Amino acid sequence: MRFTVTPSRVHDAIVTVPGDKSISHRALMLGSIAEGQTEVDGFLAGEDCLATLDAMRSLGVAIEQPEPARMSIAGVGLHGLHASESPLDLGNSGTAMRLMAGLLSGQNFDSKLIGDESLTGRPMGRIITPLTQMGARIESQSGNPPLTIRGRGSLKAIEYLLPMASAQVKSAILLAGLFADGQTRVSEPAVTRDHTERMLRSMGVKVESLDGTIQLAGGQRLHGRVLDVPADLSSASFVILAALLAENADIKIRNVGINPTRTGVLDILQSMGADLRLENLRSLGDEPVADIRVRSSGLSGGDVDPSLVSLAIDEFPVLFVAAAAARGKTTFSGIGELRVKESDRISAMAEGMRVLGIEVDETQDGATVHGGRFGGGTVQSHGDHRVAMSLALAGTIATDEVTVEDIDAVDTSFPGFCPLMTGIGVEIRTSKSK
């Protein structure tokens, strides 16, 4: 499938985007190993999270889905999971595979984790190393999926310094730590999203965080509860981009999660001159939320603070497009992690924007984007949902039609992307690739 986008007139609107993907994954996993019922509202019914749902059901958890965004999970407790009769297919989701590896390392049965072609190419050594230190036995294809996890029944606690900031690796270790003897400690070189710690605490687990070190004791019981999932800031960032690029738009995005470990994209855009405001700040369960008000803005380039990278790691495709529309040049550094996402996002975005007439200089862990004017053309998403959506929005201000190929993965994180964008004035349509 492909997107075709023509120059558009984005207009004023009030919108809601789908639920947070990171929180939805964790709600399914933690609700499944809790004792008692967990009710989830706001669940993201995208392909990634539905793969996690299928995996937990295959492990013996009864989960009802009366509506796409609502879940009722009958938790089985820490040791109530059962071996799946078939491999657990996690589709395109690196989050699911890394967190599931931690969850399953302490079970007393074997599991096999598989995924699609994209996921099979993503490195898993960063979780295999610490989990193996805890006593897990994990077989892989030279550090890549599929992963076969040989059940041990118990693990040993470790103290682990993350080589690079990664919420997925941190979470995998913490989940394994629930099944370990002793205190598991993880130290991170930069702040990463803390949804796992927040949700564990809300379910009765004592998790301590101090000066970049997170620790928990093994054997703690989780208790089922009501979990409300806020709208996904990563998805909201595409609406924010559409409004910023427009000539005269004023858009409000309701009920968006603004966890401080996730708001780097807002900080970076504001530093570039974006007219962004947070309204109606409140809490939804254990997560802070707000309505985000964004108005069309002239942006200016500059050097992006590397300390914000871990707080905006998923939003850099959006930031590349914003930088291309800005005056001057914008330099990103310390973003080497993007090279091992669903695609090499530095390379994919640079390639796509060059096709559209934007000058981009790449380094191994960064890029400099020179502001300019988007032209038309056909670009490749490389099967990456965030690259596809970001390049599509570049088409709203291009001089001619922009076609984005290989967009099927968009439904992994943002089901309903096209109808929502059409509703705010984006001239976008989908069709089969030739």
The structure tokens 């302490």 sit at 106
Taking phi over 0 as left and psi of -120 to 50 as alpha, with beta for the rest, 255 belongs to left
The structure tokens 């690079």 sit at 164
Clarify whether 314 is annotated catalytic. Answer: yes
The structure tokens 């809300």 sit at 202
Rounded distance, CA 219 to CA 54, Å? 26
Please tell me whether residue 39 adopts helix, strand or coil conformation: strand
Contact call for residues 225 and 26 (beta carbons, < 8 A) = no
Structure-block tokens of residue 228: 């409300």
At 95, the amino acid letter reads T
Rounded distance, CA 23 to CA 423, Å? 26
The structure tokens 């007219």 sit at 275
Cα 83 to Cα 86, 104, 230, 319, distances in angstroms: 9, 10, 32, 42
Closest to 26 measured CA to CA, from 7, 2, 48, 3: 48
* Chain CA centroid to CA 363, Å: 24
In terms of C-beta density within 10 A (0-12 exposed, 13-18 middle, 19 or more buried), how is residue 35 classed?
Answer: middle
Q: Which is the catalytic residue, given 48, 228, 291, 314?
A: 314
Rounded distance, CA 401 to CA 15, Å? 26
- The catalytic residue positions are 314
